[in-house]
Structure 1
Amino acid sequence: MTFNHEPAAQPQLRHVECPGASKSNDQTHRMAYWSWGDESDPRVLICVHGLSRQGRDFDALARMMSPHYHVVCPDVAGRGESDWLANPQNYQIFSYVSDMVTLMQHLRAARGATEPLSIDWVGTSMGGLIGLGFSSLPAEVSGARLRRFVLNDVGPRLRHEALVRIGDYLGQPMRFKDEQEAAAYLRSISPGFGPHTDEVWMALSRPLLRAAPDGEGLVLHYDPAIAEPFKTMSAESAASGEAMLWQVYDALTCDVLLLRGKDSDLLDEDTARMMTERGPRARLVQFEGVGHAPTLVSSDQLNVVSEFLRA
Structure 2
Amino acid sequence: MQRKTLQVGGQTLSYLDNERAGPTLICLHGHFGCAAMFSFMQHVHDGRLLLLDQRGHGLSEHFPTYRTDDYVDDLAALIAHEQISDPALLGHSLGGINAYTFAARYGNVSRLIIEDIGTEVDCSNEWVLKLPREFATVLDVEQALAAIGMDFEPYFTESLRYDGLKWRYLFDYDGMVVSQRQMNGDHWPQWDAITCPILLLHGTKSWASNTANILAMKERNPNTSLLIYEGAGHTLHDECRERFCADVKNFIGN
Alignment RMSD, CA only? 2.5
Of 33, 37, 55 in structure 2, the residue corresponding to residue 57 of structure 1 is 37
The unaligned stretches of length 5 or more in structure 2 are none
**Range that drifts further, 275-284 or 264-273:** 275-284
Of 216, 221, 225 in structure 2, the residue corresponding to residue 274 of structure 1 is 216
CA deviations on 1:191-222 (whole Å, 9 max, x unpaired) are 7x6xxxxxxx4xx554311235xx53201111
SS in 1 for 2:216: helix
Q: Provide the residue aligned with 1:18 in structure 2.
A: 8
Q: Provide the residue aligned with 1:117 in structure 2.
A: 85
SS in 2 for 1:73: strand
* Structure 2 CA distance for aligned equivalents of residues 184 and 122 of structure 1: 32
* Structure 2 CA distance for aligned equivalents of residues 34 and 232 of structure 1: 28
Q: Provide the residue aligned with 1:7 in structure 2.
A: none
Name the structure, 1 or 2, with higher relative contact order (CA <8 Å, separation 6+).
2
State the aligned residue count.
251
* Structure 2 CA distance for aligned equivalents of residues 232 and 208 of structure 1: 21
Q: Provide the residue aligned with 1:69 in structure 2.
A: 47
For 2:211, give the aligned amino acid: E
Q: Provide the residue aligned with 1:189 in structure 2.
A: 150
Q: Is the 8 A contact 1:167 1:230 kept in 2?
A: no
* Structure 2 CA distance for aligned equivalents of residues 36 and 170 of structure 1: 35
* Structure 1 CA distance for aligned equivalents of residues 33 and 129 of structure 2: 11
Q: Do the aligned partners of residues 184 and 257 (structure 1) sit closer, same or farther apart at CA in structure 2, a change above 3 Å counting?
A: farther
Corresponding position: 1:34 with 2:12: no
* Structure 1 CA distance for aligned equivalents of residues 194 and 16 of structure 2: 27
* Structure 2 CA distance for aligned equivalents of residues 210 and 183 of structure 1: 14
Of 278, 283, 295 in structure 1, the residue corresponding to residue 225 of structure 2 is 283
* Structure 2 CA distance for aligned equivalents of residues 287 and 46 of structure 1: 23
Q: Is the 8 A contact 2:31 2:176 kept in 1?
A: no
* Structure 1 CA distance for aligned equivalents of residues 44 and 106 of structure 2: 30
Q: Provide the residue aligned with 2:61 in structure 1.
A: 83
After TM superposition, the score normalised by the length of structure 1 is: 0.73
SS in 1 for 2:86: strand
Q: Do the aligned partners of residues 308 and 83 (structure 1) sit closer, same or farther apart at CA in structure 2, a change above 3 Å counting?
A: same
For 2:168, give the aligned amino acid: V
Of 127, 133, 157 in structure 2, the residue corresponding to residue 168 of structure 1 is 127
After TM superposition, the score normalised by the length of structure 2 is: 0.88
Q: Do the aligned partners of residues 263 and 100 (structure 1) sit closer, same or farther apart at CA in structure 2, a change above 3 Å counting?
A: same
Q: Is the 8 A contact 2:204 2:232 kept in 1?
A: yes
Q: Provide the residue aligned with 1:103 in structure 2.
A: 78
* Structure 1 CA distance for aligned equivalents of residues 223 and 210 of structure 2: 17
Q: Is the 8 A contact 1:49 1:125 kept in 2?
A: yes
Q: Do the aligned partners of residues 272 and 32 (structure 1) sit closer, same or farther apart at CA in structure 2, a change above 3 Å counting?
A: same
Q: Provide the residue aligned with 1:222 in structure 2.
A: 171
For 1:60, give the aligned amino acid: F
* Structure 1 CA distance for aligned equivalents of residues 95 and 205 of structure 2: 20
- Identity percentage of aligned residues: 22
Q: Provide the residue aligned with 2:115 in structure 1.
A: 152
Q: Do the aligned partners of residues 294 and 276 (structure 1) sit closer, same or farther apart at CA in structure 2, a change above 3 Å counting?
A: same
Larger Rg: 1
Corresponding position: 1:46 with 2:26: yes
* Structure 1 CA distance for aligned equivalents of residues 17 and 180 of structure 2: 32
